Amino acid sequence: MARASVDVVVVGSGPNGLAAAVTMARAGLGVQVVEAQPSIGGGARTLDLGLTDVGLEHDVCSAVHPLALASPFLAEFDVPARGVEIVVPELSYAQPLDGARAGLAWHDLERTVAELPRGEGADWRRLLEPLVRHAEAVIELSLSDKRSVPASLLTPRGIAGSVAFGRAVLGQGTRAWDRALPGETSAALLTGVGAHAIARMPSLASAGTAIMLATLAHTVGWGLPVGGSQAIIDALVRDLRAHGGTVQADTPITHWSQLPRARAYLFDTTPRALVDIWGDRMPARAARALGRFKYGAAAAKVDFVLSEPVPWAVAEIGRTGTVHVGGTRAQMALAEAEINAGRHASAPMVLASEPAQVVASRRVGGLAPLWTYAHVPAGSTRDMTEDITRRLEQFAPGFRDVVVASRCIPAARMHEHNANYIGGDIAAGAIDIAAMVARPTPWLNPYSGAIPGVYLCSSSTPPAPGVHGMNGWHAARRALSQRFGIRRMPSLAPGS
């Protein structure tokens, strides 16, 4: 790459990199985005994997987006006004259980309460209703930069919401977690959501994940974009280009000398990549601190092509875009403990999404994609196709008969399509309470790249993984202030 000058260079085109790029471009700066992969979007790409000859597309990583609907960044950006339709199903997520039973988390809290087994609905309402009532505080706490207190949380309503959130996380983050949810179905329904953290359970980190996502299930919902996750990415890229920014794919960066000269560099990469690229100019102490960043357990991805919908034993499960296939609370806790100890679980936790059941246009030529992950030890080389198939057969007898094709990416190869997924860690860093608060380092500025003008803006920084753009937005705020003296954030609204 020629070393021409530009105001800002963003390395990596995931949702956070593009959020940073859009923010900087709307501040009137010249922005160039470079991406190592041939396609743009990082963990939010939607691609034809070549498994069929009808052009069927699969979501490469993220498929369902409660955080996109909750994100203050994307709310101000206003994706619906930009032609992105996100369909929110009536059923937010499901948890199949043995005996043709299932826990069903409907978008409507009261319906969820009514359909849980006797007595369990009241427990669910007692836990979730205060959080649903104060959902804005849950979102602020979950998506903040973890270094400042949003002004809205200092109001009486914000304090009440924060207390409710903290109480729920503490209750579900310890061995006393059955006290609030003693029933098997409701306990499993919440635990399956906490498994998104791929962390030991119970733990404060998995509990925080569970409480936040369960709250969103009953408020904004767990939406799926028409056209797949790529629709959100394409809207961001269009806006970036409309404000003079450029995007260059298929351009891996291994050393800072390959980059254009710029006043600010924002990296949608892991700390390890930042050290590899800037290590010879970075203070040794800072390089060591960033190099100690902890990565977590992993996921192996299996994409299926189906001729018919998954034949769930409980038919209602087919009405959602998200299914947590893990069994009971005890079974999921055991499975997560095994993979975090470096062993493959005998009955692994599986996440599944059948987007065509919510967005009919995802079915092409009579075929539909099925997105699945299985949790595995970091660096696992195991092909998890058969493991996932057996798990789905347990709750959807006859699943094998509707599979037309499949492709597995073992955890050890996940980095090949996204360099941030080291060893298959799709969260770009271990999810534990210390790491979430002090991620990636305990520095006052968690987005600092330890060199003036260099910033991290990836999921390895606060607030958390997910398609919400908040990491990039927080990093851009600091870069605008520190490097360009711009302290007022630019409007993200369409037409501005």
| pLDDT digits 0-9 by tens, 342-355 | 999 999 999 999 99
Q: What is the mean pLDDT of the chain?
A: 96
Query: How confident is the model at residue 496, as a pLDDT?
Result: 87
CB 191 within 8 A of CB 197: no
Q: What percent of the chain has pLDDT over 70?
A: 99
Cα–Cα dist 354/304, whole Å: 10
d(CA 471, CA 462): 6
- Provide the pairing of β-strand 246-248 with 31-34: parallel
Q: Say if 384 falls within a structural domain.
A: no
Distance, CA of 67 to CA of 107 (rounded, Å):
15
Burial of 91 (0-12, 13-18, 19+ CB in 10 A): buried
Q: Which of 299, 297, 311 is nearest to 370 (CA)?
A: 311
Q: Which residues pair with 325 in a beta bridge?
A: 350
Residue 180, domain member (yes or no): no
What's the burial of 423, exposed, middle or buried (CB within 10 Å: 0-12/13-18/19+)? middle
Instruction: Please tell me the total count of domains within the chain.
Output: 1
> Above 60 in pLDDT, residue 1?
no
**Buried b / exposed e along 143-156 (16+ C-beta atoms within 10 A):** bbbbeeebeebeee
Q: What amino acid is encoded at 318 in this protein?
A: G
Do 251 and 17 form a contact (C-beta atoms < 8 A)? no
Whole-angstrom Cα Rg for the chain: 22
Model confidence at 283: pLDDT above 80:
yes
| Residues 380, 421 contacting (CB under 8 angstroms) | no
Give the type of residue at 488: R
355: preceding bond cis by omega (within 30 degrees): no
Residue 274: CATH number of its domain: 3.50.50.60
Summarize pLDDT for 183-192 with one digit per residue, the tens.
Answer: 999 999 999 9
Q: Which residues contact 154 (CB under 8 A, 6 or more apart)?
A: none
Identity at 448, one-letter amino acid code? S
Q: Give the H or E element holding residue 303.
A: strand 298-306
- pLDDT value, residue 36: 97
Mean pLDDT score, 118-144: 97
The whole-angstrom separation of Cα 40 and Cα 153 is 36
Question: Percentage of the chain surpassing pLDDT 90?
Answer: 96
DSSP-derived 3-state class of residue 145: coil
Residue 2 has pLDDT above 60, yes or no: no
What band does 24 get if pLDDT is binned at 50, 70 and 90?
very high
CB 236 within 8 A of CB 15: yes
Q: Kindly state whether residue 83 falls inside one of the protein's structural domains.
A: no
Q: Is residue 34 part of a domain?
A: yes
Pairing of strands 350-353, 454-456: unpaired
| Alpha-carbon torsion, ordered 305, 65, 437, 274, to 10 deg | 60
Residue pair 74/468 in contact (Cβ under 8 Å)? The answer is: yes
Distance CA 161, CA 141 (A): 9
Region 306-324: mean pLDDT is 98
Report if residue 190 sits inside a domain: no
d(CA 418, CA 37): 8
Listing from the earlier edge strand, what are the strands of the sheet with 323-325? 101-106, 91-97, 323-325, 350-353, 368-376, 298-306, 403-409
Residues 6+ apart with CB under 8 A from 193: 93, 105, 209, 210, 213, 214, 217, 324
Tens-place pLDDT, residues 160-169: 999 999 999 9
Is position 145 within any domain? no
Report yes or no on 368 lying in a domain: no
Residue type at 99 in one-letter notation = G
Task: For the chain, give the longest Cα–Cα distance.
Answer: 68
Instruction: Say what the pLDDT of residue 4 is.
Output: 63
Return the pLDDT at 84: 97
Residues 439, 471: Cα–Cα separation, whole Å: 11
pLDDT digits (tens, 9 = 90+) for 436-470: 778 899 999 999 999 999 999 999 999 989 999 99
At residue 310, the pLDDT reads: 98
Per-residue pLDDT reduced to its tens digit, 238-251: 999 999 999 999 99
pLDDT score at 434: 75
Q: How confident is the model at residue 3 (pLDDT cuts 50, 70, 90)?
A: low
* pLDDT at site 416: 95
Residue 383 has pLDDT above 90, yes or no: yes
**Does the residue 58 lie in any domain?**
yes
pLDDT at 337 over 60: yes
Residue 309, C-beta contacts closer than 8 angstroms, at least 6 positions apart: 318, 354, 356, 357, 368, 402
Model confidence at 432, pLDDT cuts 50, 70, 90, reads: confident
User: Whole-prediction pTM value?
Assistant: 0.96
Query: Which of 349, 398, 296 shows the shortest CA–CA distance to 188?
Result: 349
DSSP tag of 23? H
Q: How many residues does the chain have?
A: 496
**436 lies in which domain range?**
8-62+227-295+426-484
What is the end-to-end Cα distance of the chain in Å, rounded? 32
Residue 188 in tokens: 């499993």
